[in-house]
Amino acid sequence: MTKYTVRKYQKSDYKTWNAFVAQAKNATFLFHRDFMEYHADRFEDFSLMVFENQIVKAILPGNKQGKLVHSHQGLTYGGLVYEGSTKLASVIEIFKAILFFLKENGFEKLYFKAIPSIYHLQPADEILYSLFLADAKLVRRDSLSVIDLSQEKNISKIRKRGIQKAISNQLIIKEENDFESFWNEILIPNLADKHQAKPVHSIAEMNQLKALFPNHIHQFNVYSDTKIVAGTTIFETETVAHCQYISKNEKQGNLGSLDYLFQYLIQERFAGKRFFDFGISNENQGKNLNEGLSYWKESFGAGTIIHDFYEVETANYSKLETVLI
């Protein structure tokens, strides 16, 4: 009999959940309930809380679709979250309890988005070992382009030429509190033209999130005189500055705008962070790589960190029962 009990998150757990997120070793502000619930109308929440003697030991941000549970589809990442003192054997037992709970409640599979290691405050890959033990199937693998900011920056000559071009064009970088100009003049037109898509976040949602998390969400725009020519939206965690959106005005030609912007962000604005994460250059569930985009990021000195996605049958809780010896 496991010593852990599992139940679904309830609105009355709001403070308890957020307090746990604040002290966990592998959580970021994306797991705060205020962030998770800005798009509550899009997902049927099925977040889980794991207890030992009525004390929270782990949480799993999630939503459900029929007989499937996803580690939350509205989050970039969202695996099992636990505290710094949690041991490997305990994570195995916690994961077994979660799978058993899901099985008992009629769910057949769990789709699991791991939390990339750069977002951990301490080593926290215990869940990856637990997934292996449960015969989880790797169903997607994305490649993040990441710079280790504690190491010497190795920027290519072509990027340096772009920076000099931006300086000669007298471009100006501004950190701003609104998202209208970047969304309406740069991001929305580019996504529509290139991908027939829209931004995941609306302007209203970004303004709402910025008001809730002013120290974590930042907008940087580049201007030629008074005209916006490029920009990026940054989600900042304790260890990482992550690019949520990157885009420029393709009709303005090569002004060096993005080279100039990212040189500033990497060398100055976020130089004190542990990592700078450009995000993925993948499409088709990780099966394709946008080579040009990946090369541009690598030319700033970025290397590759993997972000894995798994599928595990809930009945496989039984495979964890004989692991510990």
Q: Which CATH class is domain 5-142+308-320?
A: alpha beta
User: Alpha carbon of 37 to those of 20, 66, 193, 270, 285: distances in Å?
Assistant: 17, 20, 30, 28, 25
Q: Which residues of 20-42 are buried (b: 16+ CB within 10 A; e: fewer)?
A: bbeebbbbbbbbbbebbebbeee
Closest CA to 169 of 255, 43, 235: 255
224-262 pLDDT, tens digit each = 999 999 999 999 999 999 999 999 997 777 899 999 999
- In tens, the pLDDT along 190-215 reads 999 887 889 999 999 999 999 999 99
The string of pLDDT tens digits covering residues 53-66 is 999 999 999 999 99
Q: Tell me, what's the pLDDT at 251?
A: 76
Spans of all domains in the chain: 5-142+308-320, 151-273
* Confidence at 106, pLDDT banded by 50, 70, 90: very high
Q: pTM (2 decimals)?
A: 0.94
- DSSP character string of 58-124: EEE-EEEETTEEEE-TTSS----EEBTT--HHHHHHHHHHHHHHHHHTT--EEEEEPPPGGG-SS--
Q: Which two tokens stand for residue 206?
A: 């970004």
> DSSP code of 287?
T
**CB proximity list for 9: less than 8 A, separation 6 or greater:** 17, 45, 47, 48, 49, 59
Considering the domain 151-273, what is its CATH architecture? 3-Layer(aba) Sandwich (3.40)
- What mean pLDDT value characterizes the chain? 96
Reply yes or no on whether the pLDDT at 25 is more than 70: yes
Burial track 308-324 (b if 16+ CB lie within 10 A, e otherwise): bbbebbbebbebbeeee
